[in-house]
Amino acid sequence: MATSSDNDNDRNDAVSSNPLTEETTETLTSPSLPTLPFEIVEEILSRLPVKFLMQLKSVCKPWKSLISDPKFAKKHLRVSTTRHHLLLTYRNSSREFVITSYPLSSVFTEITATAAAGATQLDYPLLNPSHFHTFVGSCHGILCFELYQRFNHFALLWNPSIRKFVKLPSLEKPKRAGGGTEYGFGYCYDNFNDSYSYKVVAVSSFESVYDNNVKVHTLGTNSWRSIEDFPSGVSFDSSGRFLSESETINWLASNDSDTLWIIVSLDLEKECYQELVLPNYGAVTVETLTLGVVRDCLCIVANSDTFSDVWLMKEYGNKDSWTKLFRIPYMGNFESCPYTTVTYVSEDDQVLLEWQFEIVVYNSKDGTFKTPEFQNINPKMILNVYEESLISPCS
């Protein structure tokens, strides 16, 4: 049994093995320790994840001021490593609007295809179950939702990473038979002022007369503006897809006279339209089509009876740049429900797609499939991908 003197000797030995010399004492107490220039601190912070930055705001007032600065938010958006998340939205049995975020990398890399690890349930800012909520799209970390109740339509812009949101002015819902409203969300970039202008587009359609009125709301203003109507004789089938390369919102549309499918593209800066021709499928009989955006290119999923072809428009507006990226065989009986959407393609060419309200990952290199397992999955879920940012929808 060790005595107190023995313990004292042990402690003395431990101290004497690394004595505080005059030099080390001076180093610890010297007021002239080198510090990083604030410009370097800014460079380091601009490359950190949003979650860490929100915590670092409490370190000191200069850091809080920097991280809260809209100019820093734009710089962070440009230089930080893109961190994509898979977003699942649905209503649960209690009619609550549930939004769950998963690190996108885990969907591709987990050997067991289990994506439950790292899941985060986002605190949706509006809890009124009497409103119907539809996800429209995302841009620079801002999520756009369509809400309507009775004859009033709203658009909600929300950045869950910084927990800020704004509810846009109401937009009257079409009252004519066959009427409906579809939304699109994106931005145009002002090179002269080095600023983004975020816009929400609402297309109110009346199928019986092909009358498609269009209104635009620019973030930071208090009202909707009417612009040139959606092209006459053309109807659309889904919310517009934003393409950042061309700063356009795009709809898959058809001309009623001959059911010719085209893409109607709205330039957000000039607020004018362009019609884009779809790919030449050759001898393939295409039964259904869906439009999306993959690798910042317009994407068409052309479904036949036994497979789906994934086409990319490599150069926006150039019909000759359509390129078939993959041919995905069907996993099972797809007679009534083929693949609906290609949501994301990883750098190693793994394809995240939706099938019969399920998520499927197709490995184009070895032709294999896996089905990620998600907790509390819902058959009416909506699948999307978004990236974190510090951009505020309130500015």
User: Which residues, in sequence order, are bridge partners of residue 100?
Assistant: 88, 121
- Amino acid 7: pLDDT: 41
CA torsion sign, 315 to 319 to 324 to 329?
positive
Query: Hey, what amino acid is at 102?
Result: Y
% of the chain with per-residue pLDDT over 90? 32
Q: Using 50, 70 and 90 to split pLDDT, how confident is the model at 150?
A: low
- Amino acid 30: pLDDT: 40
DSSP structure string for 217-231: EEBTBSS-EEESPSP
- Amino acid 14: pLDDT: 35
The residue whose two tokens read 């950190």 is: 48
User: Which residues, in sequence order, are bridge partners of residue 172?
Assistant: 152
Q: Is a pLDDT exceeding 90 seen at residue 127?
A: no
- Amino acid 300: pLDDT: 93
Per-residue model confidence as pLDDT tens digits over 154-172: 889 999 999 999 999 988 6
Per-residue model confidence as pLDDT tens digits over 279-290: 999 888 888 888
Q: Using 50, 70 and 90 to split pLDDT, how confident is the model at 271?
A: very high
Identify the residue with better confidence: 310 or 117: 310
Q: What is the mean pLDDT of residues 215-241?
A: 83
Q: Is 385 exposed, middle or buried (0-12, 13-18, 19+ CB in 10 A)?
A: middle
The residue whose two tokens read 């795009």 is: 250
- Amino acid 10: pLDDT: 38
Q: Could you give the angle at the alpha carbon of 377 between the alpha carbons of 327 and 386, nearest 5°?
A: 65
257 Cβ partners below 8 Å, 6+ apart? 233
Identify the residue with better confidence: 239 or 74: 74
Residue of 67, 46, 47, 71 lying closest to 56 (CA atoms): 67
Two tokens at 323?
Answer: 């390129």
- Amino acid 340: pLDDT: 72
- Amino acid 144: pLDDT: 92
Strand 322-329 and strand 339-345: pairing?
Answer: unpaired
Q: Is a pLDDT exceeding 80 seen at residue 137?
A: yes
Q: Is a pLDDT exceeding 90 seen at residue 255?
A: no
DSSP state of 71: H
Two tokens at 178?
Answer: 């066959």
User: Which residues, in sequence order, are bridge partners of residue 215?
Assistant: 202, 226
Q: Using 50, 70 and 90 to split pLDDT, how confident is the model at 3?
A: very low
For residue 49, the SS3 value is coil
Helices (H) and strands (E) in the chain, counts: 7, 26
Q: Using 50, 70 and 90 to split pLDDT, how confident is the model at 20?
A: very low
Q: Could you give the angle at the alpha carbon of 207 between the alpha carbons of 204 and 212, nearest 5°?
A: 35
Describe the strand order of the beta sheet including 297-303 as a list of residue ranges.
288-294, 297-303, 307-313, 322-329
Q: Is a pLDDT exceeding 90 seen at residue 33?
A: no
Chain-wide mean pLDDT for the chain? 79
- Amino acid 13: pLDDT: 36
The residue whose two tokens read 């889904």 is: 238
Identify the residue with better confidence: 372 or 290: 290
The residue whose two tokens read 């929100």 is: 54
Two tokens at 373?
Answer: 């397992």
Interatomic CA distance for residues 162 and 34, integer angstroms: 33
- Amino acid 199: pLDDT: 94
Q: How far is CA 202 from CA 116, 142, 240, 280, 350, in A?
A: 35, 17, 9, 31, 34
Q: Is a pLDDT exceeding 60 seen at residue 8?
A: no
Q: Is a pLDDT exceeding 90 seen at residue 6?
A: no
Q: Which of 65-79, 105-119, 332-346 has the lowest mean pLDDT?
A: 105-119
Interatomic CA distance for residues 355 and 24, integer angstroms: 65
0.85 surpassed by pTM? no
Helical (H) or strand (E) element with 242: strand 241-243
